Amino acid sequence: MAFERAQSWEPGARHRQLLGRRQLGTTVEVADYLGVPVATLHAWRSRKKGPPASRVGKHLRYRWEDVEAWIDAHGVGGESA
């Protein structure tokens, strides 16, 4: 009897809408969004400088609301004064 690998389940747009939340961002997605290398994001996290992240099992995940709040608080992407 062959065993099938369990497929990982990710909520689709309908499920996220029902939950009222956006999908959590991965390190790669957040680094790409901020325009920095993944290594920079890891370095910021180790120095407690970057956007807050949480561990989900062994994975690091970011709430998009926290990323946006961090951008707003640090003036990232705005014009220089």
DSSP string, 19-65: HT-PPPEEHHHHHHHHTS-HHHHHHHHHTT-S---EEETTEEEE-HH
Q: Write out pLDDT tens, residues 2-20.
A: 556 556 656 666 655 555 6
User: Can you tell me the distance from the alpha carbon of 7 to that of 4, in angstroms, rounded to the nearest whole number?
Assistant: 9
Share of the chain above pLDDT 90, in %: 62
Tell me, yes or no, if the pTM score tops 0.85: no
Share of the chain above pLDDT 70, in %: 67
User: Can you tell me the distance from the alpha carbon of 46 to that of 26, in angstroms, rounded to the nearest whole number?
Assistant: 16
Q: Write out pLDDT tens, residues 20-40.
A: 667 899 999 999 999 999 999
Q: Which of 57, 27, 63, 22 is nearest to 45 (CA)?
A: 27
β 54-56/25-26 pair status: unpaired
Higher pLDDT, 65 or 8: 65
